[in-house]
Chain A
Amino acid sequence: MCSGRVDLKHVLRAFSKGMDGVFIGGCHYNECNYITNGNYHALNMVLLAKRLLEHIGLNPERLTMRVMSGAEANLYADHVNSFIKTIKGLGPLGQSEGLDKEELAESLARVTKLVPYIKIMKNEKLGTFLMNEDDYEGLFTRDEIDKLFNEMISYYIDPVKCQACMTCARRCPEGAIISAKGQVHIIDQDKCIRCGSCMAGCPPRFGAIRKLEGGEPVPPPPPEGERAVVRKAKAQ
């Protein structure tokens, strides 16, 4: 496996479990023994994760990525020692940041749950190759991340238009659509990763799924018992 395999989920898992710092070691840039150059991808992930940490009030210094070759044991030791010094200075997770333990756990759980959404929204930037260290800071900005969370997109099935054809449910990668025969389908907003597969799959003649942008609240689903489909009159 390559450093590019290190997943945002792994980093968040470590912090969620109470780790005070996470160090990612990769190969030197442009010295890939293959043609993968996955360390650039790892770097993007780290830059994103740092902003996410900031978003929930954690010090981004708690996460670092360093590059070295297999022959540079001393360099590795130097990097680790300096990182440990940083972490010791920061103290236990959340403490110097003045975060309440439970609040922090909640925030981390919230971000972890949104990893699929974050990956979808930031896919393009996560695949860039930053050749210049000066560009690191600007890849992801605080504002951008705040916006990502504050103006989250959602998908909603219009109960009037839904014909209960189950197409969306079959397409949903998360199984987040409550679907029963003859019953209006409902997106379980808690499970939904906001990928839009449902909307893409909903037959255009129904057009029952709507994308809600800018943090628009999702209307509540019709109460149980009132979910019977209103059949569209078939075109004669």
Chain B
Amino acid sequence: MDSIVGEAGDFKVKLIKNPKYINEEKCTGCTVCVEYCPVKYPDEFNQDISMNKAIHIFFPQAIPLVAYIDESCLYLKENKCRICEGVCKNNAIDLKQLPEIKEINVGAVILAPGFEPYDPKLRAEYHYGDFVNVITSMDFERLLSSTGPYSGEILRASDKKHPHKLAWIQCVGSRQVTEGGHSYCSAVCCTYAQKHVILTKDHDVDAECTIFHNDIRSYGKDFERFYERTVRLPGVRFIRSYTSIVGEDPVTKNVTIRYSTPDNGVKEEEFDMVVLSIGLSPPTGVREMAKKFGIELTAHDYCKLNPANPMETNRRGIFVSGAFQGPIDIPESVFSASGAGSQIGELLNRRRGNLSTERVYPEEQDVSEEEPRVGVFVCHCGANISRVVSIGATVEYCKTLPNVVHAQEQLFSCATNSAKEITDTIKEKGLNRVVVAACSPRTLEPLFRDTVREAGINQYYYEMANIREHDSWVHSREKEEATKKAWDIIRMSVARACNLEPLQEFDLPVNKAALVVGGGIAGMVCSLSIANQGHEVYLVEKDMALGGIARRISHTLEGMDVQVYLRDITEKIYKHPLIHVYTGATITEATGYIGNFVTTVRSNRGIAEIKHGAAILAIGADLYTPTEYLYGEDERVMTHLELDEEIKRSSEKIANAESVVMIQCVGCRNEDRNYCSRICCSESVKNALKLKEMNPERDVYILFRDIRTYGLKEDYYREAASKNIRFIRYEPEDPPVVEPGESDEGKPVLKVTVTDPVLLKKIELDADILALAAAVIPSEAIKEVAALFKVVLSPDGFFKEAHVKLRPVEFGTDGVYLCGAAHYPKFIQETINQAYGAAGRVLTLLSHDIVVASGAVCEIDEKKCMGCGACAAVCTYGALSLNDTRLGKKAVINPVLCKGDGLCNAKCPTGAISLKHFTDDEIMSEIDALVGGL
């Protein structure tokens, strides 16, 4: 980005595009050029561990999947070579390319520069780059990958042998106030190191893995279970200790680590490999970038955010997502990405759809009565297939297959001209089935279906034979057999093609309104963002007032006044003409499906039947009522939320308290609730700081298991420690004991006894107030709401998203979304991130007039149905149900809900239910064709 001028809604951005020396339109990503390129160069994507070529694809899943030439190219350096030009069959190489200057006009900008892995060379004591078997977690990540430097083998750089004894050192570059380190916690390293250990043990069950750590910060959803799974693996040690790397064996190149434990004192131990769990640094060049965009940064060089809207920068129209907000993990990045999208939707809503054009296809011919006329197109994929499989012989073979009326070869079937050739041939030769023998359907099936559609043929008459991934790529040394295998694969596809049926996709109308269940911060933020994009929103809250649990919180740790924020957002909700609020409400019935839900709500406005296209479940969470530590028996014992309220009121109790003790992890991280409530450590630090601010003389103790002030909140933990707030760690087997007693001065106090982990003896603390960090637990109503909307819960009883990373704000049930603490405990800022994220996903649905449902769904032959219900029992989408008919119970399908997995088909005893496009006839014709030709 060279420069940006203008304002929100109308920016002019000048971009400089460096040459790839490849015509991206022409490159098909076949990588023949890479093979012939003579220049070997360290592979940046594989952390320079292995070599790549001067011309290469950045990494196997790169988008676009095209090659580029880097500065190591002989032609660019010395004007010679040009081999790639000669071998590229598609003339995609363009060594004359120059930097391109592009001016674009945009309404808004999202800054998503990510982060830079911390460079441990900044601190010599890690010996990175000095001791060859000391590597970073990024290096290790690549070693683990099947596309990594050693194809997924974990090997030492020194001798290319498998390390057997490995150590991980946590907090490298994080939680450090010394030169070269970051004071904040990088938030992701504890869990990724655990993942490394699990994967290492998968590779080598006998591997000995040691993690040297500070606090274990398993604060995310399901992280605690993941941690426990790691701890329980045989041969895995978690050692809480600072470490130093003290030496390297000159012969074995093993690395010695010095550490200390309370039991054994200082020890030295040798490891085959040491992995540095490096943290996150702000992106390289971030200050220059900030200057160009006119945005402010924090002291840590991350983006300075609006606490009430963490996707907003100080410049209107410029948004931020991902780790530029601060260290966050993948699901959080996805929330913020989708959320930033939604905010741009709000900003540019009036121009929505202006750049889109409607695709018009020719009218579809009915060929279902015709004899199958199959055309087979065999792709060379440059040389990817053709250097192993004999294409000419394969084409000739295809011509011998039943119903094949045309077969030909193509250099790249996916190239625009080839697709056109397929369309033309269909028309010319009267083909009614098409088989392309090329690569995996995963990438290109949509393209070829489209090609077939362009010729007026139903797209489900298309069939793909994968002779690349399933053949040429895996049998490169057995050319003859590979050719035979290609014939087998194609023969099966042709047989299947003959049995294919034309299918229609459904166009479902989309009701443009949304229903938001829950009027806390999550529900309100989500409602506003949806309504600001022109959609009617029905906001349903069970209480008599909006605000949820936030009504009880005075300030955030970072200092945002929650009550002022709440007043502001509640006012916006009530003033918004498109938002309809129902308080004191309960949902009595929810029916329908994506785009067309009908929900019945009973509230003080009477009974309403609401029609809506999307539903967002943001029902929040509850707080655990402790049964421990005299809670409910002694009025000096309260939860951290109650303490917050007392502080807000500046009650006398607080003013007079000379000593406050806080106990963390009350009601969670135990057998009943095997998760971390995420927010309590920071909440306790917040309250402790406030208590100290009110009276610096007061004693404040926090009894904890691990302090989990992750990310940028670490700074407040440090501040608390520096203000003489005392942190004492206890073990779950030896929890604190609380009983009423008297102080030395004879004042009635609560006596809190805890084992000091350093002195290893019991100490007694006098408390005037005991605050318990009570667990955040799933809402009482969550099971009921889940049943109404046919969504599922995770093992800890919170809502289960469709996919942790790929679809973190959606349910498996289409058209139903989630956000806020109902998903998992989270801070206000995180809730806002996720609420906007959910709104963004909702808009991808509501901004369309129709949704298209696949034609590959199940159908029922009622005559054959025996009404046993085996199908309905296995359908996780509720697409099947049983109806009473004159002839007994019969299964009925709602094809709109069907996802085409076909479990019902496999379970049906009579064959009454069948999954279209994967019918028994279609599948068995493939089996028969395979055997028939052997």
Interface residues of A (CB under 8 A from B): 1-2, 4-10, 13-14, 17-19, 33-38, 41-42, 45, 70-74, 77, 115-117, 119-120, 123, 126-127, 170-171, 173-174, 193, 195, 197, 200-201
Say yes or no: is B812 at the interface (Cβ < 8 Å to chain A): yes
Contacting pair A38 B903 (CB below 8 A): yes
- The closest CB in chain A to the CB of B908 belongs to A119
Selected contact of A195 from candidates B147, B806, B909, CB within 8 Å? B909
Q: Can you list 8 contacts pairing A with B, beta carbon distance less than 8 Å?
A: A1-B900, A17-B932, A18-B931, A35-B876, A73-B469, A115-B909, A123-B868, A173-B910
Contacting pair B931 A19 (CB below 8 A): yes
Contacting pair B888 A201 (CB below 8 A): yes
Contacts of B314 in A (CB 8 A): none
Contacts of B900 in A (CB 8 A): 1
New A-B pairs, 14, CB < 8 Å, besides A17-B932, A120-B868: A2-B903, A5-B915, A13-B927, A17-B928, A34-B802, A34-B812, A34-B899, A35-B812, A36-B903, A41-B874, A41-B903, A41-B906, A77-B474, A197-B888
Whole-angstrom distance between the alpha carbons of A1 and B854 in the complex? 12
Contacting pair A17 B873 (CB below 8 A): no
Among B803, B866, B887, B908, the most chain A Cβ lie within 10 Å of the Cβ of B866
Known pairs A19-B931, A36-B876, A117-B909; A201 contacts B887 (CB<8 A):
yes
Minimum CB–CB distance for A197 against chain B, Å = 5
Say yes or no: is B624 at the interface (Cβ < 8 Å to chain A): no
Known pairs A41-B874, A123-B870, A195-B910; A173 contacts B915 (CB<8 A):
no
Whole-angstrom distance between the alpha carbons of A127 and B872 in the complex? 11
Say yes or no: is B176 at the interface (Cβ < 8 Å to chain A): no
Known pairs A119-B909, A120-B868, A171-B887; A2 contacts B901 (CB<8 A):
yes
Say yes or no: is B160 at the interface (Cβ < 8 Å to chain A): no
Contacts of B808 in A (CB 8 A): none
Whole-angstrom distance between the alpha carbons of A72 and B876 in the complex? 27
Contacting pair A41 B907 (CB below 8 A): yes
Say yes or no: is B863 at the interface (Cβ < 8 Å to chain A): yes
Contacting pair A1 B867 (CB below 8 A): no
Known pairs A18-B931, A73-B146; A34 contacts B901 (CB<8 A):
yes
Interface residues of B (CB under 8 A from A): 146-147, 151-152, 442, 469, 474, 792, 800, 802-803, 806, 812, 856, 863-868, 870, 873-874, 876-877, 887-888, 899-903, 905-912, 915, 918, 920, 923-924, 927-928, 931-932
- The closest CB in chain B to the CB of A42 belongs to B906
Selected contact of A4 from candidates B867, B888, B902, B927, CB within 8 Å? B902
Interface SS of chain B: loop
Contacts of B902 in A (CB 8 A): 1-2, 4-5, 38
Among A72, A120, A127, A197, the most chain B Cβ lie within 10 Å of the Cβ of A197
Contacting pair B806 A33 (CB below 8 A): yes
Selected contact of A173 from candidates B151, B469, B866, CB within 8 Å? B866
Contacts of B442 in A (CB 8 A): 70
Minimum CB–CB distance for B789 against chain A, Å = 13
Whole-angstrom distance between the alpha carbons of A117 and B863 in the complex? 18
Whole-angstrom distance between the alpha carbons of A197 and B912 in the complex? 14
Whole-angstrom distance between the alpha carbons of A41 and B906 in the complex? 9
Contacts of B907 in A (CB 8 A): 41, 119, 123, 126-127
Known pairs A5-B901, A35-B802; A120 contacts B152 (CB<8 A):
no
Contacts of B856 in A (CB 8 A): 1
Contacts of A173 in B (CB 8 A): 863-866, 910, 912
Contacting pair A74 B146 (CB below 8 A): yes
Contacts of A171 in B (CB 8 A): 866, 887-888
Contacts of A2 in B (CB 8 A): 901-903
Contacting pair A74 B151 (CB below 8 A): yes
Minimum CB–CB distance for A33 against chain B, Å = 6
- The closest CB in chain A to the CB of B918 belongs to A1
- The closest CB in chain B to the CB of A14 belongs to B927
Contacts of B803 in A (CB 8 A): 33
Closest 7 CB pairs of A and B: A5-B902, A35-B812, A2-B901, A17-B931, A119-B909, A116-B909, A173-B910
Whole-angstrom distance between the alpha carbons of A9 and B907 in the complex? 11
Contacts of A119 in B (CB 8 A): 870, 907-909
